[in-house]
Amino acid sequence: MIPKEITEDVIKRIATVRGQLGGIEKMINEDSDPQEILTQFKAATQGLQKAHHLLIDDVFRKNLALKIVAVMNVCPGKDCPYAEKVEYLKKQFPTLGFDELSTKINEIKRIDKDMEDYHKNRQKHLETTP
């Protein structure tokens, strides 16, 4: 779920971009100066990029935070083979850039999967050990 304040901000930005696109269309129809049209294209592109980054950044950050917490719950303490990596991701989290978020999400998903497999194998071993 996307927070209401993010949704409202993204919708306002999209409405602004929609207006800019209408203005560009009008400028083209009126044979306006190409440099002015280009300026409006740049403004619309920047507005759309800001809305996109705002939305994706919020969704990715929440996803990564939830994954880190989930892994910390199944990988508590120093006995966990991934404890150092999880701690590193936890410390890095606040400073991660937009481009790094998806990479780190994939890293934590791999750790989560490995921990799941580890616990399954450990449980099987405990069940078969007399």
Any idea which residue has 């939830």 for tokens?
A: 66
Indicate the domain borders of the chain: 4-128
Whole-angstrom distance, CA of residue 85 vs CA of residue 47: 36
Instruction: For residues 32-57, give the mean pLDDT.
Output: 92
Provide the H-helix boundaries in 30-97.
34-74, 83-92
Say what the pLDDT of residue 130 is.
67
Output 36 or 2, whichever has higher pLDDT.
Answer: 36
Residue 13: CB atoms within 10 A of its CB come to 19
Mean pLDDT of the chain: 85
Higher pLDDT, 105 or 18: 18
